[in-house]
């Protein structure tokens, strides 16, 4: 309805602390959410935690805690991590929240009453870390095809969801809505590997453990954790509750952002549940790639996780957010290395952006005692800078609308570098030697300051703090100078720019020394 935008991340298992790979999904969603807020949308950005299931129950047991005690500790830690990463969510749902548990029970009962859930016996294989059922022929070398770990044989009374009934409807929905599964390659994978070979009904309850939402009319059964988890996207909006105004306002979701390994759950099981409930389907499921280490998935069991807190403490949140969104084309896998991170910080942030700001502020200080005079004269290159700003804004917008974050940043940095080159071309230090060139010099410095204003608006969805530093050093105080609309006019900044010198925004890092320190810190050393 109207100008709304609903975006979600997956809800995270609070089984262990999260690593930089998990942060990647959330930073991307936050970036998109901030971009849409900048564009004036009424945004609902939902994240949360997926707290039930056998995996968590076992972890808690090992830790000598009740499952709830166990998850409470980690959920608190996750909420803090999102604060550290400046994640500005609008809703945080825990699957242990009463509103969620009641909603899931109602969904289960509704589907049962409709005949889309029926009772039977489940006999098959289960991967507990992935909370996934498999048949023998789906295994890879006898192990879980998703994570490569051992699976367990299970045989128990269970309820089944008639997934097979929705196979044709799903295929036609996917074919008729080319943006439903994005990027395109994931769509082909779903159709060819899962839908066309045929869907089997899905086991949606378990009886051999307790940590889950009891089936309302048969409490010996707990609801299968994926059916429980997927429902978060609507339970958080009050679906089937007394107050479903948020559901009415925000559903259908504009985009579910998920990692590639869970696209299957979001584009087959989830839409089938919604079809069975008679609800609209989400507009898009976007499956992004993984951050990998030496080509392999980052995972606690492989001992190769990178701790986001260590990185933020060392380099600041904006640098980490920038790196995550810039380094890897969203949708593809990307290798994470400390070296790539520090190289990016040094080249893009310290050299390009940091220098542009400190040179601009430094020159306004040095040549005009901190305040530009009113008398300013344009030079031959100004028209080009203006035109480039307009072109970059258009291309940035096109990239952001497709969630091509890296492309959007590439555009901004193309502009940053061009403006740095403009300094060399106009040589303010030469103009400064001649008093008759004062208006020309002031014009050059104004173009720099105004370019920085434009840059700071464009980077604001990615880097929440750097625009504040730019604004404070250039005394950009009016909120109207920091809106999307303000990008339409090059020259909004008042002419008499008065600077307040501040700290260097991104100090250069000594890469050799830093790599050693970082390796130690990540090993749990320093």
Residues that bind ligand MSP (CB under 6 A): 10-13, 21-22, 24-25, 50, 229-230, 232, 258-259, 261-262, 290-291, 297-298
Q: How far is the CB of 22 from ligand MSP (least distance, A)?
A: 4
Q: Which residue has its beta carbon closest to ligand MSP? A: 259
Closest to ligand MSP by CB, 22 or 321: 22
Closest to ligand MSP by CB, 206 or 297: 297
Q: What is the dihedral of CA 182, 187, 193, 198, to 10 degrees?
A: 120
Q: How far apart are CA 307 and CA 327, in angstroms?
A: 18
3-state SS track over 6-25: EEECCCECCCCCCCHHHHHH
Closest to ligand MSP by CB, 14 or 428: 14
326 with 348: CB under 8 angstroms? yes
From residue 332, alpha-carbon distances to 29, 177, 291, 397 in Å are 16, 22, 9, 21
Give the DSSP per-residue string, 65-132.
Answer: S-HHHHHHHHHHHHHHHHHHTT---SEEEETTSHHHHHHHHHHHHHHHHHTSEEEEEEEEEEETTTTE
Q: How far is the CB of 344 from ligand MSP (least distance, A)?
A: 17
Q: How far is the CB of 323 from ligand MSP (least distance, A)?
A: 14
Closest to ligand MSP by CB, 228 or 382: 228
Closest to ligand MSP by CB, 20 or 441: 20
Q: How far is the CB of 249 from ligand MSP (least distance, A)?
A: 21
Q: How far is the CB of 56 from ligand MSP (least distance, A)?
A: 10
Q: How far is the CB of 47 from ligand MSP (least distance, A)?
A: 10
Closest to ligand MSP by CB, 21 or 461: 21
Closest to ligand MSP by CB, 298 or 431: 298
List phi, psi (to 5°) of 110: -60, -45
Helix axes 270-277, 98-114, angle to 10 degrees: 70
List phi, psi (to 5°) of 140: -115, 115
List phi, psi (to 5°) of 151: -105, 165
Q: How far is the CB of 62 from ligand MSP (least distance, A)?
A: 18
Give the residue among 214, 287, 285, 217 at the shortest CA–CA distance from 255.
285
């Amino acid at each position: 309805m109207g100008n709304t935008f609903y975006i979600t991340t997956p809800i995270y298992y609070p089984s262990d602390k999260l690593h930089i790979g998990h942060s990647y999904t959330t930073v991307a969603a936050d970036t998109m959410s901030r971009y849409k807020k900048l564009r004036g949308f009424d945004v609902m950005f939902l994240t949360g935690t997926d707290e039930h299931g056998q995996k968590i129950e076992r972890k808690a047991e090992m830790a000598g805690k009740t499952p709830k005690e166990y998850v409470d500790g980690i959920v608190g830690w996750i909420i803090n991590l999102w604060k550290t990463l400046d994640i500005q969510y609008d809703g945080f749902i825990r699957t242990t929240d009463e509103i969620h548990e009641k909603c899931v029970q109602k969904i289960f009962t509704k589907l049962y009453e409709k005949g889309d859930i029926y009772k039977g016996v489940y006999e098959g294989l289960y991967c507990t870390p992935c909370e996934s059922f498999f048949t023998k022929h789906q295994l890879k070398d006898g192990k879980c095809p998703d994570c490569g770990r051992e699976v367990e044989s299970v045989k128990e009374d269970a309820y089944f969801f008639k997934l097979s009934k929705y196979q044709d409807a799903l295929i036609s929905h996917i074919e008729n809505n080319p943006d439903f599964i994005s990027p395109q390659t994931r769509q082909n994978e779903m159709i060819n590997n899962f839908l066309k070979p045929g869907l089997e009904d899905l086991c949606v309850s378990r009886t051999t453990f307790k940590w889950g939402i009891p089936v309302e009319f048969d409490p010996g059964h707990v609801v299968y954790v994926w059916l429980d988890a997927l429902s978060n996207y609507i339970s958080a909006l009050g679906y089937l509750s007394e107050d479903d105004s948020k559901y009415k306002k925000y559903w259908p979701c504009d985009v579910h952002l998920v990692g590639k390994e869970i696209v299957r759950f979001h584009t087959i099981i989830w839409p089938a549940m919604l079809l069975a409930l008679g609800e609209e389907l989400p507009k898009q499921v976007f499956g992004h790639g993984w951050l990998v280490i030496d080509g392999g998935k980052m995972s606690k069991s492989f001992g190769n996780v990178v701790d986001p807190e260590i990185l933020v403490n060392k380099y600041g949140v904006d640098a980490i957010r920038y790196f995550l969104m810039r380094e890897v084309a969203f949708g593809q896998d990307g290798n994470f290395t400390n070296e790539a991170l520090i190289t990016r910080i040094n080249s893009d942030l310290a050299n390009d952006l940091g220098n542009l700001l400190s040179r601009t502020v430094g020159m306004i200080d040095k040549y005009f005692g901190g305040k530009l005079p009113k008398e300013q004269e344009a030079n031959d290159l100004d028209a080009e800078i203006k035109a480039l700003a307009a072109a970059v804004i258009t291309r940035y917008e096109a990239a952001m609308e497709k969630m091509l974050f890296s492309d959007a940043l590439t555009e901004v940095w193309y502009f940053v570098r061009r403006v740095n080159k403009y300094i060399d071309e106009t040589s303010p230090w030469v103009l400064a030697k001649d008093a008759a060139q004062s208006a020309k010099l002031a014009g050059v410095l104004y173009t720099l300051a105004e370019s920085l204003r434009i840059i700071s608006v464009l980077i604001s969805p990615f880097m929440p703090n750097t625009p504040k530093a730019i604004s404070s050093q250039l005394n950009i105080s009016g909120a109207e100078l920091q809106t999307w609309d303000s990008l339409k006019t090059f020259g909004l900044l008042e002419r008499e720019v008065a600077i307040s010198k501040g700290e260097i925004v991104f100090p250069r890092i000594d890469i050799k020394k830093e790599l050693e320190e970082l390796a130690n810190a990540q090993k749990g050393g320093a």
